[in-house]
Amino acid sequence: MIDPARLRRWPFADVVHRYTAEDTMRYALALGVGADPTDPAQLRFVNDTAAGTPLALPTLAVVLGYPGSWMQDPATGIDFTQIVHGEEQVVWHRPLPAAGTVVARHRVTRIVDKGPGRGATVTYDKDLFDQASGAPLATVTHTTFARGNGGFATEAAPGDASPPASAPVPSRSPDQVVDIPTLPQQALLYRLCADGNPLHSDPEVARAAGFERPILHGLCTWGIVGHAVLAHCCGHDPARLLSLFARFSAPVFPGETLRVALWLEGGDVRFQARVPARERVVLDHGHARVQA
């Protein structure tokens, strides 16, 4: 059972992560960037010969400074077999370098008890800093839905209040719709950047978890949609993407096509992603802040 006070004090060690231009390009390729190998805008993220050092996709921040599967530690009180990714947000303080060394500092920021049989949410932040200068690069907020952990809060050890509900996408027609095919091997590519969970690579493990075949990493779907926002709302300029948030609502199978709907509202972009072949919304309540 979760002990909120203990979990809030979870002792994360700083994670020092050195990454190269090759890692940066590998991440972009794993999201499908370069699908048109003659597009100069895409090549800026996956080619280090024509224009020198490649640009880093802003969403690379989610794979830098990974703290490991810390929720798997029995001392957390979290039923690790019942967790799913709930929401992800990144706020960027400056564009990420194409290569370098970062320091990641993690902390649990919110623990919400939804009640017996209803689960709980655990939110933790990751602050990324450039090691050489100490400059802040990004703040990543990761929310996990712990389906097996509701009912732990007491008067002596209460949970936190739920955060304000994220706004749904507008009811009007989107301003732009983009179809993005994923590759059958997309999850195999993405796991070279982060998250080697066999759910995304081993058919037997996927079937045991109730899926017909391995599913795509949620953060791969999130990154693909983040690239769509960058491409269609920021002119492929990483400095213009200030924040990105979305809620995970259903898995994607590698090889499926994503349909990304974009609503443009000044410096705000609302978005939603679905798999039209199954009529399933896979990312919802999407919101980005962009610089004009």
Could you tell me where the DSSP H helices lie in the chain? 4-8, 21-30, 40-46, 186-190, 203-208, 218-233
Using CA atoms, how far apart are residues 42 and 94, in angstroms rounded to an integer? 20
CA 96 to chain centroid: 16
DSSP 40-74: HHHHHHH-SSSSSSPPPPGGGGGTTT---SGGGSG
Tell me how crowded residue 56 is: count the other CB atoms within 10 A of its CB.
24
Q: CB–CB of 176/271 below 8 Å? A: no
Residue 89 tokens read as 């947000």
Task: Confirm whether 79 is a catalytic residue.
Answer: no
Distance, C-alpha 59 to centroid of its chain: 8
Active site residue 200: yes
Of 200, 217, 285, 287, catalytic? 200
Q: Which of 127, 195, 202, 268 is catalytic?
A: 195
- Active site residue ranges: 195, 200
